[in-house]
């Protein structure tokens, strides 16, 4: 049944009944969504370059996911894995153990969100090492629950007012080449930012105290920052030499976003633990922590879990998503999409001074907008205007970055060429209109 309400009337209700904290990028309400198109309650269609923040890589309401989920809900929806076990949990764990980077025996546990996955990974690392500390990075995003929030870097709006944060978290600069914390340039820098970890043990936290280092292979919320090829190998080896658990947060990069199933496959590093969520279940709340068996088995019976964690409907959706990647060859499609977006953004960069940097890996391509290419002052207000202008013209986008000045397309990988071209054209028209 189509809604009889308008965006405006629903927004009024939303403001009356829901606090401002849960933010909204666009003042519209969904009526339906299919593939890479969202239709709002007033019947207006939008090309979706947000994918529910990187959740819908296999497309909104993917037919095979729907069929699988419908089959599952006819059987049972919830028994709680800790009370009565079920096969979808075991089957998906087995698949993830096979698929994730790392040529060693693995085990997987499930949770409900990216943040919860991150929290469990840290718990496991602490338990296994008997050490308290975690090293995280500047511009990182790991979620909004207390430990995950403490690992997250951006102060406004995420952290402000929510202190005290979880203790024993230490933060070092990321390989953000466009804004190098060391004022160096790649490759002559010789990856100073990675070797800095060795100094860090002397100046911030002794290595013997560190349980884990958690890192995004490409910064998501931090602005689609892609480290140089050698970066993770260096970090990983230093962790290995010091008995530190190397955790890859693939919540945003995983499940095909970078044209590999996991972004760490682009780098010569095999994470001890990989955290996944977002696109793994096409919108059903599910996250996974996959890691070396001896690490994963360390916490005592009952030390890990949760009432809804690894819900059978979500696990079946996850299994269907994996099949969709194979059947539709979505990794190759992601490669093609990424190439096209990269070419277009580079072309736009030649015409529009405001585009300071274009970068990406696979279908994770972003452009950083700056007021001045020399000073690199973030063009935060312009970025917001561009996102709004694109919406008016039928394209849904979101921004990213500590200064919210990065355009980060996260379109479903099933987007058609026509939709992709149209979306890119709308961005070009928006830049033209606002410049």
Ligand X SMILES: Cc1ncc(COP(=O)(O)O)c(C=O)c1O
Residue 249 CB, shortest distance to ligand X, in Å, is 5
- From the list 344, 433, 341, the residue with the least C-alpha distance to 389 is 433
Q: Which of 40, 119, 139, 249 binds ligand X (CB under 6 A)?
A: 249
Residue from 277, 387, 396, 413 in contact with ligand X (CB under 6 A): 277
Strand, coil or helix: what is 112? coil
Would you count residue 115 as binding ligand X (CB under 6 A)? Answer: yes
CB of 145 to ligand X, least distance (A): 7
CB of 250 to ligand X, least distance (A): 7
- Residue nearest ligand X (C-beta atom): 114
Rule CB under 6 A: is residue 118 a binding residue for ligand X? yes
Number of C-beta neighbours around residue 341 at 10 A: 24
Q: Indicate whether 114 belongs to the interface with ligand X (CB under 6 A).
A: yes
Pick the closer one to ligand X by CB: 139 or 249.
Answer: 249
Stretch that binds ligand X, among 29-37, 85-93, 107-115, 120-128 (CB under 6 A): 107-115
Using an 8 Å Cβ cutoff, are 368 and 379 in contact? no
Residues 6+ away with beta carbon under 8 Å from 403: 378, 380
Q: Is 141 in the site for ligand X (CB under 6 A)?
A: yes
In the complex, least distance from residue 326 CB atom to ligand X, rounded to whole angstroms: 25
In the chain, how long is the greatest CA-to-CA distance? 63
What are the beta bridge partners of residue 170?
135
Q: Which is nearer to ligand X, 308 or 352 (CB)?
A: 308
The answer to whether residue 220 forms part of the interface with ligand X (CB under 6 A) is: yes
Q: Would you tell me how many other CB atoms lie within 10 Å of the CB of residue 374? A: 8
Site map 339..368 versus ligand X, x via CB under 6 A: ------------------------------
> Which one among 56, 97, 108, 113 touches ligand X, defined by CB under 6 A?
113
- Per rule CB under 6 A, is residue 262 in the interface with ligand X? no
Does 298 participate in binding ligand X (rule CB under 6 A)? no
Burial of 99 (0-12, 13-18, 19+ CB in 10 A): middle
Cβ pair 35, 60 in contact under 8 A: yes
Name, in order, each residue with C-beta under 8 angstroms of 405's C-beta and a sequence gap of 6 or more: 223, 368, 369, 370, 378, 379, 380, 382, 383, 399
Radius of gyration of the chain (CA): 21
Q: CB count, 10 Å around CB of 386?
A: 22
Q: Which CB atom, from 113 or from 383, has the smaller least distance to ligand X?
A: 113
d(CA 398, CA 123): 32
139 contributes a contact to ligand X by CB under 6 A: no
Q: Do 408 and 399 contact (CB within 8 A), yes or no?
A: yes
Contact with ligand X (CB under 6 A): which of 142, 179, 266, 333? 142
Q: Which of 56, 252, 274, 311 binds ligand X (CB under 6 A)?
A: 252
Taking CB under 6 A as the rule, does residue 251 contact ligand X? yes
Site of interaction with ligand X (CB under 6 A): 53, 113-115, 118, 141-143, 216, 220-221, 249, 251-252, 277
């Amino acid at each position: 049944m189509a809604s009889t309400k308008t965006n405006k009337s629903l927004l009024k209700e939303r403001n009356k009944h829901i606090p401002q904290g849960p933010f909204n990028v666009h003042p519209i309400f969904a009526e339906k969504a299919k593939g890479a198109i969202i239709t709002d309650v007033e019947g207006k269609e939008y090309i979706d370059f947000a994918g529910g923040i990187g959740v819908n890589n296999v497309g909104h309401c993917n037919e095979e996911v729907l069929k699988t989920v419908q089959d599952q809900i006819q059987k049972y929806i919830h028994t709680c894995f800790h009370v009565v076990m079920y096969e979808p949990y075991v089957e998906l764990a087995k698949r993830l153990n096979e698929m994730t980077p790392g040529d060693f025996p693995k085990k997987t546990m499930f949770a409900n969100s990216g943040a919860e996955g991150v929290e469990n990974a840290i718990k496991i690392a602490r338990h296994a090492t008997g050490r308290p500390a975690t090293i995280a990075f500047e511009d990182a995003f790991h979620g909004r629950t207390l430990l995950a929030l403490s690992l997250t870097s951006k102060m406004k709006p995420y952290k402000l007012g929510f202190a005290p944060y979880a203790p024993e978290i230490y933060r070092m600069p990321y390989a953000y080449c466009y804004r190098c914390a060391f004022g160096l340039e790649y490759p002559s820098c010789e990856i100073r930012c990675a070797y800095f970890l060795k100094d860090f043990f002397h100046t911030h936290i002794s290595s013997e105290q560190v349980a884990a280092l958690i890192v995004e292979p490409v910064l998501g919320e931090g602005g689609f920052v892609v480290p140089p090829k050698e970066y993770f190998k260096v970090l990983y080896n230093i962790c290995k030499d010091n008995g530190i658990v190397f955790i890859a947060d693939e919540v945003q990069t995983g499940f095909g976003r970078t044209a590999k199933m996991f972004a760490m496959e682009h780098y010569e590093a095999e994470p001890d633990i990989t955290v996944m969520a977002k696109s793994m279940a096409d919108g059903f709340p599910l996250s996974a922590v996959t890691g070396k068996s001896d690490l994963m088995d360390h916490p005592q019976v009952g030390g890990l879990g949760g009432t809804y964690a690894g819900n059978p409907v979500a696990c079946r959706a996850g299994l269907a998503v994996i099949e969709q990647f194979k059947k539709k060859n979505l990794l190759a499609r992601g490669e093609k999409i990424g190439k096209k977006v990269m070419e277009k953004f580079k072309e736009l960069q030649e015409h529009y001074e405001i585009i300071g940097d274009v970068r990406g890996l696979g279908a994770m391509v972003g452009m950083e907008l700056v007021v001045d290419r020399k000073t690199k002052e973030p063009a935060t207000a312009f970025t917001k205007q561009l996102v709004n202008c694109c919406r008016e013209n039928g394209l849904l986008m979101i921004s990213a970055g500590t200064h919210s000045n990065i355009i980060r397309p996260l379109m479903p990988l099933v987007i058609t060429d026509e939709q992709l071209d149209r979306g890119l054209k709308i961005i070009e028209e928006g830049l033209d209109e606002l410049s």
